[in-house]
């Protein structure tokens, strides 16, 4: 099980596709169309975020949990390993914690979210899961690169309000704080200033090789059977 982790817009979905295609495994994506509440969440600054933060995080919790169950089912029944997730319960927890720290979610609701998330992970429909993936690929990018990527992908709800820059900065800070303190599972760090795996095919192959080499070292991939 591989999580691609990074702040908003840095390249999680793109790398998820490249990696899952290269490994020949299943990919799980975050579909904006499946989460119509996002548009409302972004619609009116801190007011709409405060009004909808808990509801949105619970909706994502349900969404991610469903994907987790599917991935574990594939692993148990079809023998599929190295499924790739472009977002996860882990990333949702980072986002939820940021909303709480910003004062856009109450302490009572934040504690309820954390308790519910822990209870769900403790028993994923009878499947063994310790709450951590086999590998995390962290896309490390300067804040300016994050903003540029958000602008380029052109989602109106994410660019309509200049004041969102403050929110995005807090998200970027939250992910970097997580990265500095995380030790529960192996992490491969991809420097997004060094590697442009979208536009540069050589960079793409280098990034995929870095990840696959780490999977080999973890015993999650056999070197002789790695796809080219």
Residue 126: the pLDDT is: 65
Q: Which pLDDT value is given to residue 129? A: 74
Phi-psi region of 82 (alpha: psi -120 to 50; beta: other; left: phi over 0): left
Task: Identify the pLDDT of residue 121.
Answer: 83
Catalytic residues: 86
Please tell me the predicted confidence (pLDDT) of residue 125. 59
Which one, of 135, 123, 7, lies nearest residue 68 by Cα? Answer: 123
Predicted confidence at residue 59, as pLDDT, reads 95
Q: How many CA atoms lie within 13 A of 122 on its CB side?
A: 6
Per-residue pLDDT tens digits of the chain, which is 228 residues long: 999 999 999 999 999 999 999 999 999 999 888 888 999 999 999 999 999 999 999 999 999 999 998 998 898 888 888 999 999 999 999 999 999 999 999 999 999 999 999 988 887 756 667 778 999 999 999 999 999 999 998 899 999 898 899 999 999 999 999 999 999 999 999 999 999 999 999 999 999 999 999 999 999 998 754 444
pLDDT on residue 78: 85
User: What are 10's two structure tokens?
Assistant: 């840095």
pLDDT recorded at residue 225: 46
The Cα 144–Cα 146 span in angstroms is 5
Threshold 0.85, pTM exceeds = yes
């Amino acid at each position: 099980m591989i999580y691609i982790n990074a702040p908003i817009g840095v390249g999680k979905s793109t790398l998820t596709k490249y990696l899952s295609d290269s490994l020949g495994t299943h990919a799980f994506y975050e579909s904006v169309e499946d989460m119509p509440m996002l548009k409302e969440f972004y619609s009116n600054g801190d007011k709409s975020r405060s009004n909808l933060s808990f509801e949105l995080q619970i909706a994502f919790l349900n969404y991610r949990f469903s994907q987790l169950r599917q991935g574990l089912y594939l692993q148990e029944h079809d023998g599929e390993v190295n499924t790739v997730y472009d977002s996860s319960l882990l990333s949702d927890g980072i986002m939820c914690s940021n909303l709480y720290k910003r004062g856009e979610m109450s302490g009572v609701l934040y504690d309820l979210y954390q308790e519910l998330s822990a209870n769900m992970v403790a028993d994923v429909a009878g499947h063994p899961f310790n709450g951590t993936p086999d590998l995390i690929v962290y896309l490390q990018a300067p804040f300016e690169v994050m903003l540029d990527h958000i602008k380029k992908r052109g989602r109106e709800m994410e660019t309509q309000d200049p004041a969102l820059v403050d929110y995005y900065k807090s998200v970027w800070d939250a992910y970097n704080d997580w990265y500095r303190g995380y030790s529960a599972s192996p992490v491969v760090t991809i420097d997004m200033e060094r590697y442009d795996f979208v536009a540069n095919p050589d960079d793409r192959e280098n990034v995929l090789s870095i990840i696959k080499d780490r999977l080999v070292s973890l015993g999650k991939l056999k070197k002789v059977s790695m796809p080219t």
